[in-house]
């Protein structure tokens, strides 16, 4: 195809917490340094840096990319910042992939950071501007409205109940107990979810991932460098991204077309024809429990409307045929907006190397897909990795 | 493998209240230009009407109106008035405000909805509120009609429609 | 390709007015907490040193931006330094005239390799020149809150 093979050779991540003492730069440094150490590399070995971080309004720091540069290893290096809402964490490795696949650079440090705890009265207030300033904000919307509207439409289209959807939260939060970065790993039941406070029916508190601070980082290199650094490189074999219209109320929300398009782009590049059979492990984006189902369908891991049945039948459990969110996902590990997707990429990296510890899925998985989503129900970013 | 002890120092809300922090209230005020399409949309709302734009490339009647078609990538063609009735595509019921505070016990819940407007192309929805209806009785597919503010109270805003109610 | 309609009179232009209604509370961070606590309690200036690069950071950092090492060598610096550059500001950030001009300087504390931005004593306006020796003037201890304004300004030493 005319571009170089790109491998992930190292990873670092901070704890995901409701509020961190560290500044955003310190969080970025902690993750980036850990990634370098894990690969036995130093900043001198890094040719370029890409940084993914969500709107400046979350951390409350204008020109946040520039602010975070030195904590991300960007001092006097070619550095780029990108942002596509919650899709950022899986877009970050795509952005890094472009730098190395092009042949322009041999190595790239990919860092994602978020420090939402600075926003008052509540981080969700910073989201109000996601709505159209003239035709929507005067109605006093909250971010949860959009999710509730989408969840209701999805459930109604496929005849699902809140109970069906709650099983995802139970699965993912339980998985997160085994993740050292996890903010909300816990054993809960479907009844706990159904009895939790209704925030915007049908969305309840335990259907949602928490607001978080955190950072994550990975190292991408070309094949030559990868073989020097590790005997277990994990290849970025497919990348895809797609953005839908911001006229979100003119789209039927029950199916994420933009995720499907991004997935097809990635699968095509990776040579995957039957994702429901060829993918061994998946990390679909799960800021809300119903989103994991929504995204499993957009990722073509099952037919439309069938994702809830896969969860109910245990297919998506760690010991199932197609483990989904073995990390614990955003629901369990936490959701520092830009860093969450990269946490999922790191999970694939560890799973495919057999290094996920207590979270390790059995059976020698070789191919995984991670996906993130964001903006106004708009963006799909997808990465396929394999060993 | 990830270490059991990862970097990152959590602070509880009590620790946060006791710690030295720096507070900032930036004055983020904006005047967002309406442009031609939304300018006319708001003007017609003040007149008690909803206006859309047409695209002859894809034959859509689009609301909110826009001066270029995002599918055909060409300027839109004409203004077209649509009805102030529609169908509920989806809805939610909430007692939580934008800043995470809760509505008082005597305040009714908010019911945001996507309403597909009659006269526009299928699926053309706008975000608005439902009102004057028991939340338990709301259904996807329900027919609703705009309840307007009295003419002298209308200012040229989306809130010139108070809410939509079943009819 | 042009739009089929345009506004041709500026009186026809309309806008929607609104705000982004959030405010912020920032933690000081790992390095900032130590620096500002020492300033508040003891009136001291702390810095961190990277032995590999030979750079002293004041205000301090827990990592070296150049080599990325963790920095755990903390040292105390004197409250004196050199004025590296300065400017005289006559308007506030909204463009309104200030009652009195304000002097802002970049100060390199003795022993540091980085600079600290702060106010320079307004009475020193006639002594301003790059290279001038300066000293920090602090608020009295009971008024210090653990922030950058615990330093009133830097005054130029004769």
Instruction: Say if the Cβ atoms of A20 and B124 lie within 8 Å.
Output: no
Which of A162, A386, A381 is closest to A280 using CA atoms?
A: A386
Question: What element of type H or E holds B21?
Answer: strand B21-24
How far is A129 from chain C, CA to nearest CA, in Å?
7
What is the sign, positive or negative, of the torsion defined by CA atoms of A230, A346, A318, B2? positive
Instruction: Say if the Cβ atoms of B92 and A203 lie within 8 Å.
Output: yes
Q: How far apart are CA A195 and CA B79, in angstroms?
A: 49
Q: Which of C20, C30, C67 sits opposite A57 (nearest CB)?
A: C20
Q: Decide: A318 and A306 in contact? Cβ < 8 Å.
A: no
Task: Note the residue count of chain C.
Answer: 158
Q: How far apart are CA A318 and CA A184, in angstroms?
A: 18
- What mean pLDDT value characterizes chain A? 95
In this prediction, the residues of chain C whose per-residue pLDDT falls under 50 are none
What's the order of all strands across the beta sheet hosting C55-57? Answer: C55-57, C45-50, C73-77
Q: Decide: C138 and C144 in contact? Cβ < 8 Å.
A: yes
Specify the higher pLDDT residue, A108 or B1: A108
Q: How far apart are CA A263 and CA A381, in angstroms?
A: 8
Mean pLDDT for A195-203 is 95
Q: How far apart are CA B156 and CA C80, in angstroms?
A: 61
Statement: residue A125 has pLDDT above 80: no
Residue of B nearest to A251 (CA): B123
Most C CBs within 10 A among A23, A60, A128, hence the mutation to make, goes to A23
**Residue A279: both structure tokens together:** 């993918």
Q: Does A111 touch chain C (CB under 8 A)?
A: no
pLDDT at B156: 95
pTM score, whole prediction:
0.94
Statement: residue A152 has pLDDT above 80: yes
Mean pLDDT for A138-160 is 93
Q: Which chain C residues are Cβ-neighbours of A118 within 8 angstroms?
A: 24-27
Residue of C nearest to B19 (CA): C27
pLDDT at C126: 84
Statement: residue A124 has pLDDT above 80: no
Taking chain C, what is the end-to-end CA distance rounded to the nearest angstrom? 68
Statement: residue A1 has pLDDT above 70: no
β-partners of residue B46 are: none
The burial class, CB within 10 Å (0-12 / 13-18 / 19+), for A161 is exposed
What are the per-10-residue average pLDDT scores of chain B (167 residues)? 88 92 89 93 97 95 94 95 97 88 89 96 94 95 97 96 96
Residue of A nearest to B23 (CA): A118
Task: Report percent pLDDT > 90 for chain A.
Answer: 87
Instruction: Say if the Cβ atoms of A137 and C66 lie within 8 Å.
Output: no
Q: Does A2 touch chain B (CB under 8 A)?
A: no
Q: Does B155 touch chain A (CB under 8 A)?
A: no
Q: Which chain B residues are Cβ-neighbours of C28 within 8 angstroms?
A: 19-22
Cis bond before residue A202 (omega within 30° of 0): yes
> Dihedral (C-alpha) A212, A218, A283, A369: value to the nearest 10 degrees?
160
pLDDT tens sequence across A205-220: 999 998 899 999 999 9
pLDDT at C76: 97
Instruction: Say if the Cβ atoms of C18 and B32 lie within 8 Å.
Output: yes
Domains and CATH numbers, chain A: 6-119+210-386 (3.40.47.10)
> Dihedral (C-alpha) A172, A173, A176, A181: value to the nearest 10 degrees?
120
pLDDT tens sequence across C105-127: 999 999 999 999 999 998 888 88
* Nearest-5° Cα angle at A67, A62 to A69: 145
Q: How far apart are CA A149 and CA A157, in angstroms?
A: 12
Which of B68, B128, C56, C154 is closest to A136 using CA atoms?
A: B128
Query: For residue A259, how far is the Cα from the chain centroid?
Result: 13
Q: How far apart are CA A114 and CA A96, in angstroms?
A: 18
Given pLDDT bands bounded at 50, 70 and 90, which one contains residue A242?
A: very high
pLDDT at B43: 95
Statement: residue A119 has pLDDT above 80: yes
Please list, in sequence order, all residues whose beta carbon lies within 8 angstroms of the beta carbon of residue B112, skipping any fewer than 6 positions away: A139, A141, A145, A148, A149, A200, B91, B92, B94, B127, B128, B129, B130
Instruction: Say if the Cβ atoms of C67 and A42 lie within 8 Å.
Output: yes
pLDDT at A142: 87
Q: How far apart are CA A49 and CA A80, in angstroms?
A: 7
Computed on alpha carbons and rounded to an integer, the radius of gyration of chain C in Å comes to 22
Given pLDDT bands bounded at 50, 70 and 90, which one contains residue A289?
A: very high
Q: Decide: A110 and A220 in contact? Cβ < 8 Å.
A: yes
Q: How far apart are CA C100 and CA C150, in angstroms?
A: 21
Q: Does B124 touch chain A (CB under 8 A)?
A: yes
> Dihedral (C-alpha) A258, A261, A266, A269: value to the nearest 10 degrees?
-160
Q: Does C23 touch chain A (CB under 8 A)?
A: yes
How far is A172 from chain C, CA to nearest CA, in Å?
31
> Dihedral (C-alpha) B1, B5, B9, B11: value to the nearest 10 degrees?
110
pLDDT at B98: 77
Q: Decide: B10 and A18 in contact? Cβ < 8 Å.
A: yes
Specify the higher pLDDT residue, C125 or A270: A270
With an 8 Å Cβ cutoff, the interface of chain B facing chain C consists of: 9, 11, 16, 19-26, 28-34, 36, 38-39, 42-43, 67-68, 74-77, 98-99, 156-157
Which of A175, A167, A173, A176 is closest to A313 using CA atoms?
A: A167
Task: Note the residue count of chain A.
Answer: 387
Instruction: Say if the Cβ atoms of C1 and B74 lie within 8 Å.
Output: yes
Q: Decide: B113 and B130 in contact? Cβ < 8 Å.
A: yes
Most B CBs within 10 A among C6, C8, C9, C16, hence the mutation to make, goes to C16
Mean pLDDT for A326-342 is 96
Cis bond before residue B10 (omega within 30° of 0): no
- Quote helix, strand, coil % in chain C, to nearest 5: 20, 45, 40
Chains touching A, CB cut-off 8 Å, 3+ pairs: B, C
How far is B123 from chain A, CA to nearest CA, in Å?
6
pLDDT at B142: 97
pLDDT at C1: 63
**Residue A72: both structure tokens together:** 């991300």
Q: Which of A19, A22, A125 sits opposite C21 (nearest CB)?
A: A125
Q: Three-state SS across chain A?
A: CCCCCEEEEEEEECCCECCECCCHHHHHHHHHHHHHHHCCCCHHHCCEEEEECCCHHHHCCCCHHHHHCHHHCCCCCCEEEECECECHHHHHHHHHHHHHHCCCCCEEEEEEEEEHHHEECCHHHHHHHHCCCCCCHHHCCCHHHHHHHHHHHHHHHHCCCHHHHHHHHHHHHHHHCCCCCCCCCCCCCHHHHHHCCEEEECEEHHHECCECEEEEEEEEEEHHHHHHHCCCCEEEEEEEEEECCCCHHHCCCCCCHHHHHHHHHHHHHHCCCCHHHHCCEEECCCCEHHHHHHHHHHCCCCCCCCHHHHHHCCCCCCCCCCCECCCCHHHHHCECHHHHHHHHHHHHHHHHHCCCHHHCCCCCCCEEEEEEEECCCCEEEEEEEEC
Q: Which chain C residues are Cβ-neighbours of B39 within 8 angstroms?
A: 7, 12-14
State the pairing for strand pair A79-82/A48-52: parallel
pLDDT at B105: 87
Question: What element of type H or E holds C39?
Answer: helix C29-42
Mean pLDDT for A120-124 is 81
């Amino acid at each position: 195809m005319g571009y170089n093979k790109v491998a992930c050779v190292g990873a670092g991540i901070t704890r995901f917490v409701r509020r961190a003492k560290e500044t955003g730069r310190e969080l970025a440094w902690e993750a980036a340094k850990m990634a370098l150490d894990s690969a036995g590399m130093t900043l001198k070995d890094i040719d370029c840096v890409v940084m993914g971080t969500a709107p400046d309004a979350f951390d409350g720091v204008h020109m946040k990319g520039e602010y975070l540069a030195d904590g991300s290893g960007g001092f006097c290096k070619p550095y780029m910042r990108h942002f596509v809402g919650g899709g950022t964490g899986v877009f970050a490795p795509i952005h890094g992939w472009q730098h190395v696949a092009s042949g322009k650079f041999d190595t790239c440090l990919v860092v994602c950071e978020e420090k939402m705890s600075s926003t008052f009265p509540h981080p969700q207030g910073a989201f109000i501007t996601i709505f159209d300033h003239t035709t929507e904000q005067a109605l006093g919307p909250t971010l949860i409205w959009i999710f509730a509207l989408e969840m209701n439409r999805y459930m109604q289209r496929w005849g699902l109940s809140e109970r069906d959807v709650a099983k995802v939260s139970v699965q993912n939060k339980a998985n997160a107990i085994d993740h050292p970065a996890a903010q909300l790993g816990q054993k809960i039941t479907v009844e706990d979810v159904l009895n939790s406070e209704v925030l915007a029916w049908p969305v309840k508190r335990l259907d949602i991932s928490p607001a978080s601070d955190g950072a994550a980082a990975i190292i991408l290199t070309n094949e030559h460098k990868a073989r020097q650094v590790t005997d277990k490189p994990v290849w970025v074999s497919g990348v895809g991204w797609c953005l839908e219209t911001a006229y979100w109320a003119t789209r039927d929300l029950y199916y994420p077309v933009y995720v499907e398009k991004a997935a097809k782009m990635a699968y095509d590049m990776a040579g995957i024809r039957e994702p429901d059979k060829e993918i061994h492990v998946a990390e679909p984006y799960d800021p809300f429990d119903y989103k994991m189902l929504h995204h499993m369908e957009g990722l073509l891991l099952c037919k439309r409307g069938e994702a809830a049945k896969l969860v109910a039948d245990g297919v998506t459990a760690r010991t199932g045929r197609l483990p989904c969110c073995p990390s614990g996902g955003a629901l369990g590990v936490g959701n520092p907006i830009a860093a969450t997707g990269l946490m999922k990429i790191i999970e694939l990296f560890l799973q495919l190397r057999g290094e996920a510890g207590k979270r390790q899925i059995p059976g020698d998985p070789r191919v995984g897909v991670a996906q993130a989503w964001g903006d106004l129900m708009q963006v799909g970013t997808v990465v396929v990795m394999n060993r | 493998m990830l270490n059991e002890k990862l970097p990152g120092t959590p602070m509880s809300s009590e620790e946060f209240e006791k710690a030295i922090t720096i507070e900032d209230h930036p004055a983020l005020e904006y005047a967002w230009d309406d442009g031609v399409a939304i300018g006319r949309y708001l003007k017609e709302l003040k007149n008690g009407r909803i206006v859309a734009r047409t695209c002859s490339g894809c034959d859509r009647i689009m609301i909110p109106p826009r001066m270029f078609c995002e599918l055909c990538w060409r300027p839109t063609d004409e203004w077209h008035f649509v009805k102030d009735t529609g169908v509920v595509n989806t809805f939610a019921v909430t007692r939580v405000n934008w800043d995470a505070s809760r509505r008082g016990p005597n305040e009714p819940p908010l019911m945001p909805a996507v309403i597909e407007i009659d006269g526009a192309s299928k699926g053309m929805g706008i975000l608005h509120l439902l009102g004057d209806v028991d939340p338990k009785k709301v259904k996807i597919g329900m027919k609703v009609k705009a309840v307007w503010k009295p003419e002298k109270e209308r200012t040229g805003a989306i809130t010139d429609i108070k809410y939509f109610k079943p009819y | 390709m042009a739009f089929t309609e345009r506004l041709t009179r500026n009186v026809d232009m309309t806008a929607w007015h609104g705000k982004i209604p959030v405010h912020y509370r920032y933690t000081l961070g790992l390095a900032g907490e130590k620096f500002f606590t020492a300033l508040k309690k003891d009136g001291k200036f702390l810095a961190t040193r990277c032995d590999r690069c030979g750079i002293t950071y004041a205000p301090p950092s827990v990592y070296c931006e150049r080599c990325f090492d963790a920095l755990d060598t903390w040292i105390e610096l004197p409250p004196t330094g050199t004025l590296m550059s300065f400017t005289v500001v006559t308007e506030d950030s909204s463009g309104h005239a200030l009652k009195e001009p304000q002097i802002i300087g970049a100060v390199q504390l003795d022993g540091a390799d980085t600079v600290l931005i702060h106010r320079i004593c307004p009475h020193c306006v006639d002594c301003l020149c790059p290279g001038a020796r300066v000293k920090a003037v602090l608020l009295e201890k009971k008024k210090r809150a653990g922030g950058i304004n615990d330093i009133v300004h830097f005054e130029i030493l004769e």
